Chains A and B, each alone.
Chain A
Amino acid sequence: MTARPSPRLSAYSALVAIGLLGALAARRAELAVLAAPFALVLALGLTARPPQPRVRFVLEGERVLEGDPLRATLEVESADPIDRLELRLALPAGVELVADDLPRAFHLGWGGERSLELELRARWGVWTVGDLRLRARDRFGVLWWEERLERPHRLRVVPRPEQLRALVAPAQTQAATGNEVARVRGEGVEFADTRAFVAGDRVRSINWRASARREQLIVNERHPERNTDVVLFLDSFADAERADGSILGRAVRASATLADLYLRRRDRVGLVTFGGTLRWLEPGAGALQRYRLVDALLETRMRFSYAWKDVNVIPARTLPPRALVIAVTPLLDARAVTALLDLRARGHDLAVVEVPAELFAAPGEEDVEQLAWRLWLLRRETLRARLQAIGVAVSRWDDDAPLDAVLEGVRTYRRHARLARR
């Protein structure tokens, strides 16, 4: 530990010096007597042994759901007595103590130990917790002993998932077996149509009732169950915060929810984080992919950049043909909007879940500011209309709406837009 002088050291040193000098100058022993107690405190304080506490910091887990409390334990022990030991846990910006009224200063006797139970709560993201600051003082308080201890624990806080009843079905499916009823006809469960028997058809496919009516062999056709490729396109160019969350926080929560549910349906899910830093994860399925996706989402941050980016910087394998691309975006940055238009122009099946930026901003009070606000809103409406005109479903995620309702908006649009595209 590092010794630091306390206010007591300078004050008492000055008093001792002045008292002794005064005693010499005035030839009065009483002034030296006045200085004697302060000299005693200084002598005893400076000869005290430096404290050597041992501190252990334990986190209950390293993965927690956003908003859930997480227990942590701080254990302090010391062979020698410490009159007063102050302990402070310096937390990163997204982590807070649930109850901050715990005593942070202790007295430790010979071989004393103390255990503190803490309860933490954190915002989504990856945080490093365990930066401890210690300050000890002896009985005389002449010196303060300070130390900064690093007991790092990586804490991954997963965004709380939204409740969804249905997902957005892609326009086209892939070749592998899955849960999505394909549009094509083949071996499956769902009935599609009937047709005349041709050589090579299986006997079990013959529809005997229809064959009897038509006086020729008729077979049933069915829709096969296939899996799909879903690519989550997360726009991290811009972010804005308010007390109850941020644009990026809401986008990450939506992406994590969608990824989880698509993976449960045995679909392959990929991720493109399109922002100041481009990050991608090729589509994959299974539990491992779920962890990869969540980890990638947790590390998403807005990084400011002037560099122009377009769809060409995204690796081709990340955007496979016939994949459904779900963009979660505030539609604020021109680069992200251009990338979405390019994706649609290249024939990708695209849907946009918009986290409206206007919910995180407010118009000014001046007339000019009000006018600018209205113009900005009009520009955003125009942008949405432009996207919808080229067959992209755009659904706003407003404050009072659950994500399920937002996806229902996407599904409704796609039911009609699909007919219009044909």
Chain B
Amino acid sequence: MTAPLALAAENAAVGWTIAAIGAAGTLCLLVAGLALPGLVAPGAVLVGLGYGILLTVDGGRLDRDAALVAAALLLACELSLWAHELRTTSPDEPGGRMRRLSWLVVLVLLALGLCACFLALVDLARVEGIAVETLGVAAAAAAFVLLWRVARDAGRRSGPSP
């Protein structure tokens, strides 16, 4: 996944740096899938770091491929966690893996759509003014309220069932 990012860098040194960081991230994700699920977050962070370096070096224009990178990162994390689950949980009934795979495809497409919408909004915000800022504040407030409600519901549900 990090190879296209490394190739996209105009400077060779930057490309090698991104490749090295990306390789470390990929290794973390592989190890997470084999034995240590705790390495999923460090692996994804390393890959994201490589992408961040590329963005910093390439200047201030909005990268329209960010949605693809995000979807690919989600896919890599999901596959890594799935690999770990396969090793540690009971075997699935026949057809279970195919259902999971198709759900993963749906999830990645959903993520791709969400990220594309988000990028479109950001692009819009760059050309608009105070109206979009207001929209951003409203979205932040809505996100806060949503998170608060989710946390409250999760706290109620986590008790033992009757």
Residues of A within 8 A of B (CB): 1-3, 7-8, 10-12, 14-15, 18-19, 22, 26, 28-38, 40-41, 43, 46-47, 50, 52, 83-84, 86-88, 103-107, 135, 139, 141, 143, 147
**Chain A facing B: main interface SS:** helix
**Are B157 and A3 neighbours in the complex by a CB distance under 8 Å?**
yes
A1 / chain B contacts, CB cutoff of 8 Å:
160-161
Q: Give the complex CA separation of A33 and B63 in angstroms.
A: 10
A107's partner among B84, B89, B93, B159 (CB-CB below 8 A) is B93
Q: Which of B51, B154, B159 has the most CB of A within 10 A?
A: B154
Interface string of B75-99 (1 = CB under 8 A from A): 0010001001100011111101001
**Are B52 and A33 neighbours in the complex by a CB distance under 8 Å?**
no
B62's partner among A3, A7, A29, A46 (CB-CB below 8 A) is A29
Q: Give the complex CA separation of A104 and B44 in angstroms.
A: 32
The distance from the CB of A22 to the nearest CB of chain B, in whole angstroms, is 6
A50 / chain B contacts, CB cutoff of 8 Å:
157, 161
**Are A15 and B96 neighbours in the complex by a CB distance under 8 Å?**
no
Q: Give the complex CA separation of A33 and B72 in angstroms.
A: 12
17 additional A-B pairs beyond A14-B45, A34-B70, beta carbons within 8 Å, are A11-B40, A12-B41, A15-B48, A28-B56, A29-B122, A30-B69, A30-B119, A32-B118, A33-B115, A37-B71, A40-B114, A46-B151, A86-B89, A103-B93, A105-B91, A107-B96, A147-B161
B91's partner among A30, A43, A103 (CB-CB below 8 A) is A103
A8 / chain B contacts, CB cutoff of 8 Å:
40, 81
A-B pairs with beta carbons under 8 Å apart, 17 shown: A2-B161, A14-B45, A18-B41, A18-B45, A26-B55, A26-B56, A29-B122, A33-B67, A33-B118, A33-B119, A34-B48, A34-B51, A34-B69, A36-B111, A37-B74, A50-B161, A105-B96
> Does B103 sit within 8 A of A, measured CB to CB?
yes
B55 / chain A contacts, CB cutoff of 8 Å:
26, 28, 30-31
Closest-by-CB residue of A relative to B146 is A43
Given contacts A7-B81, A8-B81, A11-B44, A34 and B91 within 8 Å (CB-CB): no
The distance from the CB of A196 to the nearest CB of chain B, in whole angstroms, is 87
Chain B residues touching A, range: 35 or more
The distance from the CB of B66 to the nearest CB of chain A, in whole angstroms, is 4
A15's partner among B44, B151, B159 (CB-CB below 8 A) is B44
Q: Give the complex CA separation of A396 and B131 in angstroms.
A: 99
Closest-by-CB residue of A relative to B75 is A37
**Are A37 and B41 neighbours in the complex by a CB distance under 8 Å?**
no
B56 / chain A contacts, CB cutoff of 8 Å:
26, 28
Q: How many A-B residue pairs have CB under 8 A?
A: 140
**Are A7 and B40 neighbours in the complex by a CB distance under 8 Å?**
yes
The distance from the CB of B68 to the nearest CB of chain A, in whole angstroms, is 10
**Are B90 and A36 neighbours in the complex by a CB distance under 8 Å?**
no
Q: Give the complex CA separation of A263 and B107 in angstroms.
A: 71
The distance from the CB of B91 to the nearest CB of chain A, in whole angstroms, is 6
> Does B15 sit within 8 A of A, measured CB to CB?
no
**Are B103 and A139 neighbours in the complex by a CB distance under 8 Å?**
yes
The distance from the CB of B148 to the nearest CB of chain A, in whole angstroms, is 12
**Are B161 and A30 neighbours in the complex by a CB distance under 8 Å?**
no
> Does B158 sit within 8 A of A, measured CB to CB?
yes
Across the A-B interface, give the 8 residue pairs with the lowest CB-CB distance, nearest first: A37-B111, A7-B37, A104-B90, A30-B66, A103-B93, A3-B158, A11-B40, A37-B74
> Does B130 sit within 8 A of A, measured CB to CB?
no
Interface string of B18-53 (1 = CB under 8 A from A): 000000000000000000011011001100100110
Closest-by-CB residue of A relative to B106 is A139
Q: Give the complex CA separation of A31 and B115 in angstroms.
A: 11
> Does B8 sit within 8 A of A, measured CB to CB?
no
Q: Give the complex CA separation of A52 and B62 in angstroms.
A: 46
The distance from the CB of B118 to the nearest CB of chain A, in whole angstroms, is 5
